[in-house]
Structure 1
Amino acid sequence: MTHPSAPAVRPADLTQARDRAAPRVGLALASLSLGSFVIGAGEFGIMGLLPTMASDLGVSIPQAGLLVTGYALGVVFGAPLLAVLTSRWERRRTLFLLALVFFAGNLACALAPTYTLLMAARLFTALAHGAFFGIGAVLAAEIARPGKEAQAISMLFVGMTLANVFGVPLGTVIGQAFGWRSAFLVVSALAAATAAMIYLFVPVSRPRPGVRFAEELRALVRPPVLLAMSLSVLASSALFVLYTYIAPLLVGVTGLAETSVPYLLFVLGTGMTIGNLAGAKLADWKLMPSIMGLFAAMAAILVGIHVFASSPVVMVALMLLWGMVVFGLTSPIQMRIVATSQGARNLASTINQSAFNLGNAFGAWLGAMMISAGLGYDALPLASAALALSALGVAAVSWRMDGRASRG
């Protein structure tokens, strides 16, 4: 008995099918990018509002700065925990639930009557941060057209960059005009929109086998991987020692009015966007020399911020350059982690979020300790520069290990 053969699928038919699916893929990636924007705005949005929040909550600015540390620690512990708990879950459903966590968490931040409850709400919100990026990156690559996986993943992280360019300055303007709680309400509303878009536009993911975390954990403790992760920690620490307290520095040392702070934050965010694009090209050119050069440039710029902190005109230029080198390191460090974590790339992608936020927590805490000890805000750039030079040393050691491995 014979069966009629299925009609041959022509290349033109496949092209037409992909073209028809392209708008839906675009909407799915836009949903993930909006989620990334929400995370960035929620995490970094308080940078320009620390003085206002401290005054309203009856705490010092260093205590308010610890809200950044608390969020970062939530990411540090939440990323690996949720990576294990959700390893067998369908990805779209997981991302939908994570978006609801951001909605509820930021709403709780807006309504928190005390500093303690606000800290608890920040911790709760942060638990979903690392898992969203880890799962979102995998899903973005899964739904992308063949050969476009990297571009799809970059669309996810565009939202975080835009959060620094537009979200942080706009959040500062909204918070200054209507109270800091209103900024959290806006982020919460955007998180609800993210959840709706994920539900409507993100396709159901393919089934996946269970992840063997024990094997991946063993792969992660190799010296090259640990050195690469330490670069992420030190880069983040160098950023957040100063970034956490950028608003009081610009007001108290540079002499700007509070209403001018959003404009400087916009300049900083613009530099971050330029650096993010340039850093990817540098990483493809020469990875480790680029990392070392960027850390050296970061240290020099931070010393410049210390020296010229009282000059508004020079600070505009330095904010742009600082943003460029900080985010110029993002892609090269990520590539270094992927290159050294053979056999553990899935877990390494998630753990890198923990590494970055461990540096975030340490940097914000170190800045708070320096201010509480009586050091001025203009001393913070020097601490950041010292951390950047430490990272430069780690990068040099890591590069030398590569040379030994290639010879041995």
Structure 2
Amino acid sequence: MAQHNSTMRDWMAVAALAVGAFIVVTTELAPIGMLSGIADNFSQTPGRTGLVVTAYAWIGAVAALVAVLAVSGLQRRPLMVGLMLILALSNAVAAASSTFNMLLMARLFGALAHGAFWTMVGTLGAQLVSTRQVGRATAIIFGGVSAASVIGVPLVNLISNHGGWRVGFTCLAILSLITALALAVLLPRISGSEPLNRSVFKAVLSKTQLRRLYAIAAMAIVAHFAAFTFVEMLLSSRLHVSASSIAICLFAFGAAGIVGNFLCGALIDRHPKYLLGMALLSMSLCLIVIGSGIAGGTAVATILVFAWGMGIAMVFVSIQTAVIRVAGNAALPASAIYVAIFNGAIGTGALVGAGILDGWGIGLLCTGAAALSLISLAVVPRLQVTSAGGSTPGTASSVREAESTLERQA
């Protein structure tokens, strides 16, 4: 199919998908700041209450794989609108829950939409814009993730602290509904892919370059969340940051994610491999310095956390873009596997981090995370990822030609 020129409506559709990503991630992580209120309301232990977050991540991982087989043939516009409506319903039921089990089931129902959304959104962004702008579109969509950390999660938690956790879920339900309406208006008509079966996963995993990308993703994301789950403890015990200044550092981390996304958007289409390597190196060095405890204070901590946040944001965008380019006509199932790895690594990283922290202490936690990140960096030189102008199989143009047909309505 001939490459089309990106229009203003295309970019507005990309922006709407970024808002969708913002809502999806905010929905996933916002309960972290509501756990004590939920636990008190339903007389649950903190560990059991934590299931509203950890179980959500694992169900989202499974849903990403199932979505490829179950809904890949559907038209993209009604599919994405439907997923946001499911998320709206999930948040509304969570807000109205009369028992903890009802809340948990509402969350798990929303996790199904979460996994399916992330499976579709990566390749959908590539279908909306011209080949040379795929990386930029991906960066904008993933910018919703960083914005959720900087704005969404703190804002919902602030609302919940003042109005109660039910108000927080109600706000998320309303925002999900508004986003569904925006997608219904802005997304063009995009056909689904050919019906897929389980053999597509075997075909994807047979590609050496994709296996390398998945290995990098798994190690980098586990390393990140093993350390970041306990970032408040790292800042206070290793960098001697006061409790009142930790919020500044966390804000810097989220802001760095937005900067990293936009920087990645400007460079990823020309230098995908080198950008991924530099991002992993930045994250690794920051973890090493933090773990060593050789420097401290709010200023130093803010700089280190900013570089860490920018690095991990660029890792996310770089890997998603590389998966689309390398996978070619298998971009959809390849993205689904990446999303499953991503969500699974979140829970795994938290568990691994907790185990190291309890067994060996905070210093080794950071050192271990840095070591795992450096191991993932060692795989990067063996990658073969073309730039946007490359003509080898696996570029974004082959995604568009081989996987789906873009049909536009006036």
What TM-score do you get using the length of structure 2 for normalisation?
0.77
Equivalence for 1:306: 291
Map 1:288-307 to 2 at 5 A: 288-307=273-292
Equivalence for 2:335: 349
**1:143/1:66 CA distance change after superposition, 3 Å:** same
**1:302/1:208 CA distance change after superposition, 3 Å:** closer
**1:36/1:384 CA distance change after superposition, 3 Å:** same
Letter in 2 for 1:355: I
Match of 1:103 among 81, 88, 108: 88
Conserved 8 A contact 1:82-1:128: no
Map 1:146-225 to 2 at 5 A: 151-206=136-191, 209-211=194-196, 214-215=199-200, 217-225=202-210
Pairs aligned (count): 380
Conserved 8 A contact 2:120-2:332: no
Equivalence for 2:117: 132
Asked if 1:317 is matched to 2:312, the reply is no
Q: Report the CA distance between 1:261 and its aligned residue.
A: 5.1
Match of 1:328 among 298, 301, 314: 314
Partner Cα separation in structure 1 for residue 218 and residue 125 of structure 2: 26
**1:193/1:347 CA distance change after superposition, 3 Å:** same
Is the partner of 1:128 in helix, strand or coil?
helix
Q: Report the CA distance between 1:269 and its aligned residue.
A: 0.9
Conserved 8 A contact 1:165-1:270: yes
Q: Report the CA distance between 1:352 and its aligned residue.
A: 1.2
Partner Cα separation in structure 1 for residue 354 and residue 44 of structure 2: 13
Q: Which moved more, 1:40-49 or 1:185-194?
A: 40-49
Q: Report the CA distance between 1:70 and its aligned residue.
A: 1.8
Match of 1:388 among 360, 368, 373: 373
Equivalence for 2:355: 369
Q: Which moved more, 1:359-368 or 1:239-248?
A: 239-248
Conserved 8 A contact 2:11-2:129: no
Identity among equivalent pairs (%): 27
Q: Report the CA distance between 1:99 and its aligned residue.
A: 0.4
Higher-Rg structure is 1
Encode CA deviations 1:120-146: one digit per residue, 9 max, x unaligned: 433322222232233334444445478
Equivalence for 1:12: none
Letter in 1 for 2:315: L
Partner Cα separation in structure 2 for residue 49 and residue 382 of structure 1: 31
Partner Cα separation in structure 1 for residue 316 and residue 323 of structure 2: 11
Equivalence for 2:214: 229
Conserved 8 A contact 1:219-1:343: no
Is the partner of 1:88 in helix, strand or coil?
coil
Encode CA deviations 1:370-393: one digit per residue, 9 max, x unaligned: 45x366556543342232133234
**1:131/1:207 CA distance change after superposition, 3 Å:** closer
Conserved 8 A contact 1:141-1:153: yes
Conserved 8 A contact 2:138-2:321: no
Map 1:218-297 to 2 at 5 A: 218-247=203-232, 256-257=242-243, 262-280=247-265, 283-284=268-269, 286-297=271-282
Q: Report the CA distance between 1:83 and its aligned residue.
A: 1.8
Match of 1:87 among 69, 72, 75: 72
Structure 1 gaps of 5+ residues are: 1-14, 403-408
Structure 2 gaps of 5+ residues are: 387-410
Aligned CA-pair RMSD: 3.6
**1:177/1:376 CA distance change after superposition, 3 Å:** farther
Partner Cα separation in structure 1 for residue 10 and residue 204 of structure 2: 34
